[in-house]
Amino acid sequence: MDDLAIARAIHVLSVVHWIGGVAMVTAVILPAVARLAEPARRLELFHAVESRFSAQARVSVPLAGITGFYMTDRLGAWDRFADPAFWWMHAMVLVWTLFMIVLFVAEPLFLHRWFRARMEAAPERTFAFVRRAHWILLTLASVTVAGAVLGVHGVF
């Protein structure tokens, strides 16, 4: 087994943990919280569950990036970023960058405080925004996973 195969296995495993977790939060936890809790308590309940996942994603997201850039270098594939046919390479970097910003910049610096303030002002609207944002990120990530697998196998 060579280093490229190992990097690919770690990459896919990291993506499975990370995007699988996003799917669980988006399609299972958020709808359950919406049904069970009254508007003012929803965000608190959501944070209690989601912060555990965030802590784990702070390992799997950087690992996906490290192995992704390692493979790009190992394959000598940097020139793909200049070719629109490799849109799925751009999509991978875009999705990764978005999550890195949320996990390492927005969450520690201001996201929680900002949501708390908005939640007090408009609980229903803020929670609807959180749900919509999760569906958008999950859709983007799912298109990227499908695009990457098809792209690796020469479909585009």
CB of 114 to ligand HEM, least distance (A): 25
CB of 32 to ligand HEM, least distance (A): 24
Is 13 among the residues that bind ligand HEM (CB under 6 A)? no
Is 26 among the residues that bind ligand HEM (CB under 6 A)? no
CB atoms within 10 A of CB 46: 21
User: Given the rule CB under 6 A, which of 43-51, 89-97, 106-114, 121-129 is the region that contacts ligand HEM?
Assistant: 89-97
Is 134 among the residues that bind ligand HEM (CB under 6 A)? no
Cα distance between residue 136 and residue 148, in whole Å: 18
Cα distance between residue 51 and residue 153, in whole Å: 36
CB of 28 to ligand HEM, least distance (A): 19
CB atoms within 10 A of CB 136: 12
User: 2: which DSSP letter?
Assistant: -
Cα distance between residue 134 and residue 78, in whole Å: 30
The residue within the footprint of ligand HEM, chosen from 10, 15, 43, 103 (CB under 6 A), is 15
